């Protein structure tokens, strides 16, 4: 009986072993998950080389790095800790590469230079100054404060712009609905009158007739379709982007933005605040003035400040002062010129620049609040005029029904 049981179990056990282990000549099945993970990792590493880090993420990273350095941790250990807690996969790869580069003997500034999209010139120059002075943690704290102030101001401006953009978009959608679906009903009703319609009503009907075929599929072969309108808007936007990418286009754009009726004053104050804040932060950290002006010029984003920085660099190289150039430039207000001159006479230019930046930050917040409170009633009036004008234009023939109907007789 024991022999018979062994005979019955032997084929099953041998079949199981043959199933568990492939034959010697049979190829192994590839690990699909491992291959997908490897491909994803390679794609992230390729993306990390050109990854543009958001300013808010950079501010958090800089503040955390400064706090860890102040706690006495080595730089490599600080980067390792930040790498583990970073949720952004591309930024995690960047921190890893920077950490490995430092571990191989390179400096922190030379390591972050390999990622110019993620770390701006301001950050790199401040790191260089911190390495030269031995106060890297203190300087990184100043940079973090600068980044946080910039992010805070940007968020306030964006939040102020969200409401009017949403209302204008709703108004455009509402007007299109009226023109395409509502006005044709009135147009069919007015055909029976047989008389000439008022000019506002006829203009709206003509505009509706222009847009109505654009929304119907058969009409796009003979008339301008919505596809043509979208294509024209797209190519116009691309052409504008290419023009503003040229030096002449940038200059025209910056002059227009600063002189814009409603938001021009706010854009001007933001540019002045960024100029003063960057200048004060760099000078206070020990960066040479010519290098400071170079960084301020590239970080400003305005051609007016770039021209002023180039002129200041030439003037300072010849032994002049910053206030002398600012006094001759109409882009900078008189208050700023006098404060910079007072700072030069007392040897506290960075302190004066910091106070000017604080002043314009407060001015920007007040301007944003004023614009927000002003835009709301203006948008209400705008909506009332547009929608009310359309309604009045369509009901105008009904109000004049007697005169219009009399023309039939």
CATH number of the structural domain spanning residue 63:
1.20.81.30
In this structure, are 83 and 232 located in the same domain?
A: no
Asked which of 119, 136, 164 is the last residue of a domain, the reply is: 119
Give the tens place of pLDDT for each residue, 286-301: 888 888 898 888 878 8
Q: Confirm whether 19 is domain-assigned.
A: no
237 and 320 together in one domain: yes
405 and 296 in a single domain? The answer is yes
**Interval 149-176 mean pLDDT:** 82
Q: Which two tokens stand for residue 27?
A: 């190829």
- Which tops the pLDDT comparison, 100 or 176? 100
Of 73-82, 141-150, 161-170, highest mean pLDDT: 73-82
Q: Are residues 99 and 58 in the same domain?
A: yes
Average pLDDT for the chain = 80
179 and 263 inside one domain: yes
Averaged pLDDT, 132-153: 85
260, 392: one domain: yes
Residue 252 domain flag: yes
Q: Give 16's Cβ-side CA count (13 Å radius).
A: 4
The verdict on 351 and 206 lying in the same domain is yes
Higher pLDDT, 194 or 41: 41
Do 237 and 369 belong together in one domain? yes
334/188 same-domain check: yes
Angle made by CA atoms 257, 259, 263, in degrees to the nearest 5:
65
Domain-located, residue 399? yes
Q: Is residue 137 part of a domain?
A: no
| One domain, residues 113 and 226 | no
Residues 153, 301, single domain; the answer is yes
With respect to residue 232, please indicate whether it lies within any of the assigned structural domains.
Answer: yes
For residue 3, the model assigns a pLDDT of 39
pLDDT of residue 6: 40
Mean of the pLDDT values across residues 189-207? 78
Residue 69 structural domain = 45-119
Q: What is the pLDDT of residue 223?
A: 46
Q: How far is CA 349 from CA 31, 324, 332, 390, in A?
A: 63, 13, 16, 58
Average the pLDDT over 344-369 and give the result. 88
Overall number of domains in the chain: 2
Q: Is residue 154's pLDDT more than 60?
A: yes
Confidence of residue 76 (pLDDT cuts 50, 70, 90): very high
Give pLDDT tens digits for 390-401: 888 888 777 766
* Percentage of the chain exceeding pLDDT 90: 17
- Out of 119, 135, 160, a domain closes at 119
Pair 68, 184 in one domain: no
Q: pLDDT tier at 404 (50, 70, 90 boundaries)?
A: very low
Residue 219's pLDDT is 45
pLDDT of residue 78: 93
Give pLDDT tens digits for 1-54. 443 444 444 444 444 444 445 555 555 555 777 777 777 778 878 888 888 889
Q: Is a pLDDT exceeding 90 seen at residue 79? A: yes
HEC string of the chain equals CHHHHHHHHHHHHHHHHHHHCCCCCCCCCCCHHHHHHHHHHHHHHHHHCCCCCCHHHHHHHHHHHHHHHHCCCCHHHHHHHHHHHCCCHHHHHHHHHHHHHHHCCCCHHHHHCCCCCCCCHHHHHHHHHHHHHCCHHHHHHHHHHHHHHHHHHHHHHHHHHHHHHHHHHHHHHHHHHHHHHHHHHHHHHHHHHCCCCCHHHHHHHHHHHHHHHHHCCHHHHCCCCHHHHHHHHHHHHHHHHHHHHCHHHHHHHHHHHHCCCCCHHHHHHHHHHHHHHHHHHHHHCCCCHHHHHHHHHHHHCCHHHHHHHHHHHHHHHCCCCHHHHHHCCCCCCHHHHHHHHHHHHHCCHHHHHHHHHHHHHHHHHHHHHHHHHHHHHHHHHHHHHHHHHHHHHHHHHHHCHHHHHHCCC
Report pLDDT for 38.
Answer: 77
């Amino acid at each position: 009986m024991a022999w018979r049981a062994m005979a019955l179990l032997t084929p099953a056990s041998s079949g199981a072993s043959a199933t568990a282990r492939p034959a010697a000549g049979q190829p192994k099945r590839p690990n699909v998950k491992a291959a997908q993970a490897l491909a994803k990792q390679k794609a992230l590493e390729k993306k990390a080389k050109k990854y543009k880090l958001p300013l808010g993420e950079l501010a958090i990273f800089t503040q955390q790095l400064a706090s860890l350095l102040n706690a006495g941790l080595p730089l490599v250990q600080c980067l390792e800790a930040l790498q583990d807690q970073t949720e952004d996969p591309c930024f995690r790869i960047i921190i890893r590469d920077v950490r490995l580069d430092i571990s191989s003997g390179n400096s922190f500034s030379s390591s972050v230079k390999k990622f110019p999209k993620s770390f701006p010139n301001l950050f790199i120059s401040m790191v260089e100054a911190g390495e030269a002075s031995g106060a890297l943690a203190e300087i990184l704290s100043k940079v973090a404060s600068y980044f946080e102030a910039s992010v805070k101001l940007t968020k306030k401006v964006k939040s102020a712009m969200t409401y009017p953009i949403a209302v204008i978009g709703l108004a455009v959608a509402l007007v299109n609905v009226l023109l395409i679906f509502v006005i044709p009903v009135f147009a069919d009703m007015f055909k029976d009158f047989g008389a000439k319609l008022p000019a506002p009503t006829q203009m709206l009907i003509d505009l509706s007739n222009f847009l109505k075929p654009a929304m119907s599929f058969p009409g796009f072969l003979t008339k301008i379709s919505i596809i043509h309108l979208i294509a024209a808007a797209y190519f116009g936007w691309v052409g504008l982007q290419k023009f503003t990418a040229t030096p002449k286009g940038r200059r025209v754009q910056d002059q227009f933005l600063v002189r814009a009726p409603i938001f021009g004053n706010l854009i001007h104050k933001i540019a002045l605040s960024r100029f003063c804040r960057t200048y004060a932060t760099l000078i206070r950290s020990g960066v040479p003035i010519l290098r400071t002006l170079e960084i301020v010029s590239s970080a400003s984003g305005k051609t007016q400040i770039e021209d002023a920085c180039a002129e200041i660099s030439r003037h300072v190289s010849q032994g002049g002062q910053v206030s002398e150039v600012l006094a001759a430039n109409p882009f900078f207000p008189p208050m700023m010129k006098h404060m910079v001159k007072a700072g030069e006479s007392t040897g506290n230019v960075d302190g004066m620049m910091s106070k000017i930046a604080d002043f314009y930050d407060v001015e920007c917040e007040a301007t944003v609040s004023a614009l927000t409170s002003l835009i709301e009633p203006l948008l209400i009036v705008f909506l009332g005029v547009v929608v009310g004008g359309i309604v009045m234009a369509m009901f105008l023939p009904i109000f004049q029904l007697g005169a219009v109907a009399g023309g039939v007789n």
